[in-house]
Chain A
Amino acid sequence: MASTVAVELPHGGFSFDNCKRNALLEDKGFKAPKAYKTGTTIAGIIFKDGVVLGADTRATEDTVVADKNCEKIHYISSNIYCCGAGTAADTEMTTQMIASKLELHRLETSRKPRVCTANRLLKQMLYRYHGYISAALVLGGVDSTGPHLYSVWPHGSTDKLPYVTMGSGSLAAMAVFEDRFKPEMEREEAMKLVQDAIRAGIFNDLGSGSNVDLCIITKDKTDYLRTYQEANLKGVRQGTYRYKRGTSAVLKTEVKKIVLEVIDTQVKPQAMDTD
Chain B
Amino acid sequence: MSFGYPNLRPHDEGNHVIDLPKNSYGIPDTMTTGFRHAKDGIHQSHPLEYSEKHWMSNKEAMDLAMLRNMQGIHMPLRLKMEQTIASKMQRLPCLASSNIMLDTLTGRNTTVDFEDVFNVCDEAEVLGHPHVLTSVKY
Q: Which chain B residue lies CB-closest to A21?
A: B45
Q: Mark B37-62, 1 if CB is under 8 A from A, else 0.
A: 00100000111110110010000000
Q: At the interface with chain A, which of B14-22, B70-78, B84-92, B128-136?
A: B128-136
Q: Is the CB of B111 within 8 A of A101?
A: yes
- Residues from 79 to 113 in A contacting B, C-beta threshold 8 Å: 97, 100-101, 104-105, 108
Q: Is the CB of A7 within 8 A of B33?
A: yes
Partner among B46, B96, B110, B117 whose Cβ is within 8 Å of the Cβ of A105 = B110
B13 within 8 A of A: no
B114 within 8 A of A: yes
B1 within 8 A of A: no
Given contacts A1-B125, A5-B34, A6-B128, contact A12 B49 (CB under 8 A): no
Chain B residues whose C-beta falls within 8 Å of the C-beta of A266 in the assembled complex: none
Give the interface residue-count category, chain A: 20 to 34
A27–B113 Cα gap in the complex (Å)? 34
The majority secondary structure among interface residues of chain B is loop
Q: Is the CB of B119 within 8 A of A4?
A: no
A228 within 8 A of B: no
- Residues from 6 to 26 in B contacting A, C-beta threshold 8 Å: 9
Given contacts A12-B121, A13-B114, A14-B114, contact A4 B48 (CB under 8 A): no
Expressed in whole angstroms, the minimum distance between the Cβ of A156 and any Cβ of chain B is: 11
Expressed in whole angstroms, the minimum distance between the Cβ of B12 and any Cβ of chain A is: 13
Given contacts A7-B128, A7-B133, A104-B112, contact A13 B45 (CB under 8 A): no
Given contacts A7-B32, A104-B110, A105-B110, contact A13 B48 (CB under 8 A): no
Chain A residues whose C-beta falls within 8 Å of the C-beta of B132 in the assembled complex: 5, 7
Chain A residues whose C-beta falls within 8 Å of the C-beta of B113 in the assembled complex: 13, 97
Q: Which chain A residue lies CB-closest to B11?
A: A130
Q: Is the CB of B115 within 8 A of A12?
A: yes
B27 within 8 A of A: no
A19–B49 Cα gap in the complex (Å)? 10
Q: Is the CB of A14 within 8 A of B118?
A: yes
Q: Which chain A residue lies CB-closest to B39?
A: A20
A104–B109 Cα gap in the complex (Å)? 9
Partner among B116, B118, B126, B133 whose Cβ is within 8 Å of the Cβ of A4 = B126
Q: Is the CB of A11 within 8 A of B45?
A: no
Expressed in whole angstroms, the minimum distance between the Cβ of B100 and any Cβ of chain A is: 16
A10 within 8 A of B: yes
Given contacts A7-B133, A128-B55, contact A14 B48 (CB under 8 A): yes
Chain B residues whose C-beta falls within 8 Å of the C-beta of A16 in the assembled complex: 45-46, 48-49, 52
Q: Is the CB of A15 within 8 A of B128?
A: no
A258 within 8 A of B: no
Q: Is the CB of B120 within 8 A of A6?
A: no
Given contacts A13-B115, A19-B49, A128-B55, contact A6 B126 (CB under 8 A): yes
- Residues from 105 to 152 in A contacting B, C-beta threshold 8 Å: 105, 108, 127-130, 132
Chain B residues whose C-beta falls within 8 Å of the C-beta of A129 in the assembled complex: 48
Q: Is the CB of A1 within 8 A of B118?
A: no
A271 within 8 A of B: no
A9 within 8 A of B: yes
A19–B46 Cα gap in the complex (Å)? 7
- Residues from 1 to 46 in A contacting B, C-beta threshold 8 Å: 1, 4-7, 9-16, 19-20, 23
> Told that A9-B124, A14-B118 touch, could you supply 19 new A-B pairs with CB distance under 8 A?
A1-B126, A6-B128, A6-B129, A7-B132, A12-B118, A12-B121, A13-B113, A13-B114, A14-B114, A19-B46, A20-B45, A97-B112, A100-B112, A104-B111, A108-B110, A128-B51, A128-B55, A130-B9, A132-B48
* 14 A–B contacts, CB within 8 A, in A order: A5-B34, A9-B96, A10-B126, A11-B119, A13-B114, A14-B118, A15-B118, A16-B45, A19-B49, A20-B45, A97-B117, A108-B110, A130-B47, A130-B48
